[in-house]
Structure 1
Amino acid sequence: MQTEPLLIGIVDDHTLFRSGLANLLAEFAEINVLFQATNGVDMQKKIAQHPEVQIILMDINMPVMDGYAATKYVKKTHPSVNVLALSMHEDENAIIGMLKAGAGGYILKGSTPTDLVIAIKAVKEKGFYINEMVSGRLLFSLKQDEPKPLITEKEHIFLQHCSTELTYKEIADLMNISPRTVDNYRESLFAKLNIKTRTGLVVYGIKHNLIKI
């Protein structure tokens, strides 16, 4: 039995990339591109015309209304719609910002069409997708029925600061501790959570409501 195609919106200010992406996705029977938008403001008009959209592929850097604000708008007004961030580079701050805004994951613009479709399906089915920048074992640790590892109060404070643009040294100064102690908190959380990167820590914190957004 053939399943219904996934209903997609594409928001990107680069016309050639946006149109090319739509044409590539049109080759997949399981994908139906409902609309294209040039920025967040344009997206608001398009999503009002196509409220049945299920997933929005969202560029991060756009004029008028960028991906962060546009994602927040989507999650506030259409909470059932999933957002997959499109990133040119593996920029931790940008990715963390999109995840905090409500995106279910991100994928690089240089990915293959097949990888993109895999990401789209993952976001639709699981509500979450991330690439190899975060440990693959993170998905296992994010399961809601998994027991949460014991995180100390200081580690919790450190985790909250990790979701900002502060450097580790600036976090140490803010917490009035040594950079070495910050390193210890980071390595302890990496070990407890089976995570390898700062982005992974923030994703875990968001998913388990440990980080205030």
Structure 2
Amino acid sequence: MNEKINIAIVDDHTLFRMGLSSILHESPAIDVLFEAENGRELQQKIREKTPDVVLMDVNMPIVDGYEATSWLKTNYPGVKVLALSMYEDDNSIIKMIRCGAAGYVLKQSRPGQLVNAIEMIYSSGFFFNELVSAGLRRNVLRDDSTSRLSDREKQFLEMACSEMTYKEIADKMFVSPRTVDNYREALFEKLGIKSRVGLVLYAIKNNFYKII
């Protein structure tokens, strides 16, 4: 990669933010434009310098990661958001993706993994971690994968992007929870996906769900 990727780091923990900035400054592929301690400060600073990628913490005071990501999607749609998560919490990660994030990394990831995530989200628009297999990575980039899905699987896929539990999805679809489990497992098998987060990424990439 010849050109540097300009990034911003948004996190309310000062030591973590400064440490992350210091680590990324050592990468020849990345240039840290600025840091911000919450979404409000991001909104102020981005008017002067626009990054390619924003590393966005989820839980912050004043303006949290959800609101800041939605704001970026509306006002700076070309900026990619890579969510920073402390835990592998499907609900918060999926909510961030619905707000406009194009992937996530755990805060305890190794520096090399983080740099790889930044490079991947910059070049391909999405970042797929170990929970999303190579099968999805192939399927999400080709148009014919959706033709293998039944109408009911497509309906389930769209609902999987919501905050509904699988039981609530079953009630909405007027089927048993076991049937919904079958839809989920069939999609995992057909698309090479291992998690609900992977389903959401696939759905957004293939226009089953429109980001707000």
TM-score with structure 1 setting the length: 0.93
| Residue identity (%) | 52
* Alignment check: 8 A CA contact 1:88 1:110 kept: yes
| Unaligned residue ranges in structure 1 (runs of 5+) | none
* Alignment check: 8 A CA contact 2:55 2:84 kept: yes
- Per the alignment, residue 209 of structure 2 pairs with 211
Deviating beyond 3 angstroms after TM superposition, the runs of 4 or more aligned structure 1 residues are 144-147
Q: Cα distance, 1:212 vs. partner?
A: 4.0
Q: Please give the per-residue CA displacement for 1:93-121, whole angstroms capped at 9, x wherever unaligned.
A: 11111112111211110011111111111
1:19 and 1:49 mapped to 2: Cα distance?
Answer: 20
| Unaligned residue ranges in structure 2 (runs of 5+) | none
- Per the alignment, residue 192 of structure 1 pairs with 190
Tell me which amino acid in the other structure corresponds to 2:65.
Answer: G
1:131 and 1:147 mapped to 2: Cα distance?
Answer: 20
Q: Cα distance, 1:145 vs. partner?
A: 4.2
Aligned residues: 211
1:207 and 1:199 mapped to 2: Cα distance?
Answer: 12
2:73 and 2:202 mapped to 1: Cα distance?
Answer: 19
Greater shift after overlay, 163-172 or 90-99? 163-172
Q: Cα distance, 1:136 vs. partner?
A: 2.6
TM-score with structure 2 setting the length: 0.93
- Per the alignment, residue 132 of structure 1 pairs with 130
* Alignment check: 8 A CA contact 1:135 1:197 kept: no
* Alignment check: 8 A CA contact 1:160 1:212 kept: no
* 2:101 alignment partner, one of 96, 100, 103: 103
Greater shift after overlay, 25-34 or 140-149? 140-149
Q: Please give the per-residue CA displacement for 1:131-188, whole angstroms capped at 9, x wherever unaligned.
A: 1122232111111344423322222221122112222122212222111111121122
* 1:153 alignment partner, one of 151, 161, 179: 151
1:83 aligns with 2:81: yes
